[in-house]
Structure 1
Amino acid sequence: MVSSQHEAMHRIFQTDPGMFARATRALDLPFPDPLEVELLSVDLTTIEPIERRVDTLLRILTAAGTFILAVEAQRSYDPDKSATWPYYVTYVHTKYELPVVLLVVTDDAATARRIRTLPPIGHPFHATLVIHPIVLGPAELPVITDAETAADDIPLAVLSAIAHADDPRIDEILTVLAKAMKQIDSGDGDNFADLTEFGLGDSPAGDLWRKIVSVEMFYRSKTANQLWAAARDEGRTEGHAEGLAEGVAHTLLLILDRRDIEVPDDIRARITDTHDADLLAAWVDRALTATSAADLFVD
């Protein structure tokens, strides 16, 4: 079954196709920046009852000419790809009569190494067809721990964070990424935050990202919007200020829980017994940076 991590690794090229040229320059591949990009159908099925679909297919126009970029996301090595990828490339080349570049993105270093040396197709004495994809794995994607670098290229920083989810510096990587996202348009920031969450999935890095987002991007994150919507809905259901206060108190406790801040019974009671929504909102602000539950009540 296709996972959210798989989807994020190739869909980010749909969000910003120009990232392909920027990412491959580190490999000394001089692909020019795109002037125009068209998203093509990923269905490569022929009249035979065999369904074949590439993950992302883009027609890219550059100053040096037009080519087709086929993007495949791989989370583990699949030996069948040594046969299906040549089919993809030859089919697309025949259909569009344009040069075809196969890009494989992976967050697994061992998978990246095996894809770089795919076995040829043909007789042992003579290779008839050799597939040579460009591979972007942990070794090719930079570890970005500088906020300015991340802000300069958010899509590449997102892809890099996904590829380096197991890196011991992942806390620093994700914190820097969240800070960089706060500097861009809120809609774009939300989209890239969601892509990051999908790409990291239910891994420890994914859990860490959700906690960081709840602090660094709280007022713009999908999680925050859901929490505040729940608070508003609860208030409307109750039909009076007390109901709204209960919803905000619930949100406050969720934030503390997401940040792994222990809430003693007396403080939990103080929060749930407070019916002043404005006061609770002030405590929510403090919860974003508090180091203990007691910090909520310190001006």
Structure 2
Amino acid sequence: MPTREHQIWIELIRERPSLAADLLGCVQPDAVPVFAEARVESADLTEHHPTEYRADTVVSLLSDTKIAMAVIVEVQRHQDHNKLWSWPAYLATLRARQRCPVVLLVISPQRETAQWCARPIALGHPGLVFKPLVLGPDEIPTIIDPQQARTNPELAVLSAMAHGDGTDREKIFTAMLEGLENIESEQAQGYIDEVLAILPEAARDVLEEIMKTGTREYKSDFARGYYGRGKADGLAEGEARGEARGEAKMLLLVLDARGIELSDDTRAKILECSDPAQIEEWGRRAATINSTDELFA
């Protein structure tokens, strides 16, 4: 199953597909076409042959009824030489299927891995060299403006994940919490869980202190309420709940990737499960099932 850090990137893009265009613009602004709507597509890029190709997610940028561009998004946390062969195949397969321009956006939170991913890939044919567009920590914008965070709270979450250990972390966390005021409370709580899980201990302490007491510039009812609930439940229980929620979201990604049809009730049942052992059992079943009836059998 995907790692927790890997999963949160994909979840943010699935929640706000236009975020793929925002991140692409951070790497290469002139690559983003004019579009009216962004839509998540099937990430299964397999054709009718034995080799299976499945990207992390695919977003179509729509202009009127046409696809102006398709963006293949891959999260890469470590070097994987197999990707040097599969990434060009992703583009060729999706380009033939959608009949539109296609770009590959590789997101790598680690600077060294980002540099590795950005290396040109020679395809063998004279003149054909493929160069992935890579979003590393240096390309992720630092969001300290609360208004910008309110406009794009998901980007503010990514900013906190990437730069929360830097000198501007207090401003970054304050802006992020402002942005999360504008989305549904449970979803915002999930994002906070993920950010806290990824941050180093010192940065995590700073964020928790802001949620607990606020700063001179900002005090958030949501943040104080979130912090209070976490303390009331106890640290151990809070960590278990955060772990279960993260695993549940990963399970949903696996089921989506396998093409298992999920009703709203099924998604809610998985997300509301607070027992990590139960979710782990469902995760084992998810590898072989053909329907959700088998998942809950």
Q: TM-score, normalized by length of structure 1?
A: 0.63
Identity %: 27
Alpha-carbon deviation of 1:169? 3.3
Cα offset, 1:87, TM superposition: 0.9
The within-5 A match list for 1:128-139 is 129-139=128-138
User: Structure 1 residue 213: deviation in Å?
Assistant: 4.6
- Partner in structure 2 of residue 72 of structure 1: 74
Paired AA for residue 56 in structure 2: D
Q: Which amino acid aligns with 1:70?
A: I
Q: How does 1:1-299 map to 2 (within 5 A)?
A: 1-26=1-26, 27-29=28-30, 31-32=32-33, 34-62=35-63, 66-122=68-124, 127=126, 129-182=128-181, 184-185=182-183, 187=184, 189-198=185-194, 201-204=197-200, 207-208=204-205, 209=207, 212-213=210-211, 216=220, 217-218=222-223, 221=226, 251=232
Shift of residue 207, structure 1, vs aligned partner: 3.9
Q: What is the CA deviation profile of residues 140-192 of structure 1, one whole-angstrom value per residue up to 9, with x for unaligned ones?
A: 1221223233223212212222222443433442233113322x14x1x5424
SS in 1 for 2:134: strand
Shift of 1:53: 1.1
Mark the runs of 5 or more structure 1 residues left unpaired by the alignment: 228-249, 259-299
Secondary structure at the aligned position of 2:177 is classed as helix
CA distance in 2, matches of 1:76, 1:98: 30
**Does structure 2 conserve the Cα–Cα contact (< 8 Å) formed by 1:9 and 1:106?**
no
Letter in 1 for 2:11: R
Q: Give, as a single letter, the amino acid of the residue that structure 2 aligns with 1:61.
A: L
Q: Which has the higher contact order (CA 8 A, sep 6+)?
A: 2
Structure 1 stretches of 4+ moved >6 Å: none
C-alpha separation between the residues in 2 aligned to 1:252 and 1:90?
Answer: 50
Contact 1:69 1:101 in 2 (8 A): yes
Alpha-carbon separation, structure 1, partners of 2:144 and 2:60 = 32
Tell me the secondary structure at the aligned position of residue 36 of structure 2: strand
Give the alignment's Cα RMSD to 1 decimal: 3.4
1:52, distance to aligned residue in structure 2 (A): 2.2
* CA distance in 2 between partners of 1:149 and 1:48 (Å): 46
Query: What runs of 5+ residues in structure 2 fail to find an aligned partner?
Result: 214-219, 240-297
Aligned length: 227
SS in 2 for 1:34: coil
Larger Rg: 1
> Aligned in 2, Cα 1:39/1:252: closer, same or farther, shift over 3 Å?
closer
Q: Provide the rounded CA distance (Å) in 2 between the counterparts of 1:198 and 1:253.
A: 18
Check whether the contact 1:43–1:54 (CA below 8 A) recurs between aligned residues: yes
**Amino acid aligned to 1:50:** T
Please tell me whether the aligned partners of residues 40 and 59 of structure 2 are also in contact (alpha carbons under 8 angstroms): yes
Distance 2:102 2:32 in 1: 13
CA-to-partner distance for each residue in 1:105-131, whole Å, 9 max, x for gaps?
Answer: 121122222222233222xxx656422
Q: 2 CA distance for matches of 1:83 and 1:196?
A: 36
Contact (CA 8 Å) 2:79, 2:117: kept in 1 or not? yes
